[in-house]
Amino acid sequence: MLVYALPVLAYLLGSVSTAVIVARVMGHKDPREIGSKNPGATNLLRYAGKTAAALTLFGDVLKGVIAVLAARLVTDDPLILALTGFTVFIGHLYPVFFRFHGGKGVATALGVWLALNLWVGLALLATWLVMAAAFRYSSLSALTAAVAAPLYVGWLLPGTSYLVASAAISALLIFRHRSNIRNLMAGREHRIGH
């Protein structure tokens, strides 16, 4: 029975909003009410500083890693593992504990892929870093990694369950970045460090 509960437990773990918790503990404003209103590391970096952003980034990655590694202790079924990774990601996007107002999911998705297949995770991280160094846009880096993810998964982690999960996660990442896409096209997107 625990096997079938894993995706539900992963969703609940994903629903723990690291950004909101970090902001409250450090005495900052709720990230859902300031800046881009996105409870994620980039928004916290802009108004709360590097420490708050780093803690948020670490916590969001850790959610994905913990959910998948915990599932691996119980099963090696690719369908359950892929579903667990997907539901922790969905929990981050639509957290039940925070009125379904979550982040964009980049860091949690990275944690999922690092735990499912280290090489996929490292390839995604490298893609993000190269794009960030070249263009200085966090959103563009995330979008590029999202587009590349199904290709990396198909190459390094073959299997229908993983490919479907990667396509769904990537589609949602792109959807969650729709305002960033508009800003990029209009030349209004903030650069990293701005």
3-state DSSP percent of the chain in helix, strand and coil, to 5: 75, 0, 25
| Confidence category of residue 20, pLDDT binned at 50, 70, 90 | very high
User: Does residue 155 form part of some domain?
Assistant: yes
Reply yes or no on whether the pLDDT at 194 is more than 80: no
Residue 194 lies in a domain: no
**Domain limits for position 74:** 2-186
Average pLDDT over the chain reads 95
What's the whole-model pTM score? Answer: 0.95
Q: pLDDT digit string (tens) for 128-140?
A: 999 999 999 999 9
Note whether residue 192 is domain-resident.
no
Amino acid 59 reads G
* Contact by Cβ (8 Å): 35, 49: no
Q: What is the DSSP letter of 104?
A: -
* Structure-token pair, residue 21: 């918790």
Tell which residue, 176, 182, 121, has the closest CA to residue 148.
121
94-124 residue pLDDT tens? 999 999 999 999 999 999 999 999 999 999 9
92 within 8 A of 102, measured Cβ to Cβ: yes
Q: How many domains does the chain have?
A: 1
Residue 152: inside a domain:
yes
Residue 113 neighbours by CB distance under 10 Å: 30
